[in-house]
Every structure is written in C-alpha cells, then in structure tokens.
Amino acid sequence: MMLHVPNVLTREQVAHCRRVLEAADWEDGNATSGPQAAQAKRNRQLPLEAAVTRELGKVIAMALARNATFLSAALPHQSVPPLFNRYEGGEHFGLHIDNAIRPIPGSLDRIRTDLSSTLFFSDPEEYDGGELVVVDTYGMHEVKLPAGDMILYPSSSLHRVEPVTRGVRFGSFFWTQSIVRDDTRRGLLFELDVNIQKLRARIGDTEEVIALTGHYHNLLRQWAEL
C-alpha cells in the first residue's frame, strides 16, 4: 500500500526546517550506503550524529506521533530516527531496494524495515526532476509532493529518485517496523479503521459500529507482533 500523508508538518515548521537545512553542513550520501546502493546513489546527506539531524528528527517524530493517518496506516512499533538528504545539479538515486534490517543509530537495537517514508521539504515548483519512482505490481508510480507532505510505501518496493536538473530537493527519509508485518493485512486494517471513523462521525457509536470496532481490534490482536 502506497499512501500520501498530507500536512505532516505545518508551513511554519517547514519554513523553520528549511532554514536549518539550507545552513547545514552536508556530507556524501554514501556515508550510510551498502555496497550495492553506493553504486547508484549520488546525493548529499546530513551526518547521522549531527545535532541538526537530531533536532529536526525530533520535530518530525513529534508530528508523526500526533498524525492519525500515519498511526493508522503504519501501526508503528519502532522507527529509525529521520535522516535528511538533498539533491541538486543532476544528483539522483538509481533503482534499489532498502535493506531489510536497519540499525538504530546510537544503540545496539535493529528494526525490520516494513515501511519506508519520504517527507518533502521542497515544493514541486522549486525544482525539476527529483520524482520518487516506486515500482510495484501495478507499475511505476511517480511521487512529487508539496513541502510538509509524506509518502508511505512498503520497503520491499524497488524505487529510485530521478535526477534533479534545476533547484534543490530537500527531504527526510526513515524506516518503520510495524506491529503488523504483512502489507496486505496492514492495508485491510487501515481501510477498516478509516471506514469505522467515517461511520462514527455520521451515525455515532451504534451497535453496528461498536461491532465493527470489535472486529478491527480482534484482527489486530490476531496479527500483531510485539
């Protein structure tokens, strides 16, 4: 399931983050790449342990903790703290797949990468190219979202970032381990949750809505891994 999560950050938060990103010191994006990704990756990245990385990462983490769409769709167990990249002057990231296991920086913990996220800090009109292209069984999907919006997609998907030929594309990316490993099951739970919330808003907590809510939680109880 690919999902557009709008307005993860407010315009004020985006403006603050952009000022910080534009003034930051960047390093080669391959500082965190494996040998295969290093052959395809041409961009720059904020250092993992930099104070600015931690500062902006906390802004995103706090926003996601309040975002009902992300919480319902991802059912997050644990995420890698957000990382940040920039593309310009033809920089790109060729077709690749994310590592199945990622370490949590600064700890001995690791997570299984069920979901990948890209949060945009540049509006589409600010740069040419730079589309995130995700490949799945239905073909190729190009993603270029407004600043403050995020795309959520299965980490098992092949994907690439097209060359940026004008302007600068600032973004954040991170991985999440869900309490529900299977993408199809997560999608079913998300659709059920969304429709329960719509019914509650329309008709209140009727017996039927309460019964559907029970089905949701019983499925989650059956499928969750903690």
B/e letters for 98-126, b = 16+ CB within 10 Å, e = fewer, are beeebeeeeeeeebbbbbbbbbbbbeeee
CB neighbourhood size of 67 (10 A): 18
In the prediction, which pLDDT does 37 show?
Answer: 67
Mean pLDDT per segment of 10 residues, for the chain of length 226 residues?
97 98 94 69 95 97 98 98 98 96 92 98 98 93 98 97 98 98 98 98 98 98 96
Residue with tokens 């104070």: 51
CB neighbourhood size of 41 (10 A): 22
In the prediction, which pLDDT does 182 show?
Answer: 97
Task: Determine the CATH number of domain 183-223.
Answer: 4.10.860
Query: Which residue ranges make up each domain of the chain?
Result: 3-178, 183-223
In the prediction, which pLDDT does 31 show?
Answer: 72
Q: 3-178 sits in which CATH class?
A: mainly beta
pTM of the model: 0.94
In the prediction, which pLDDT does 208 show?
Answer: 97
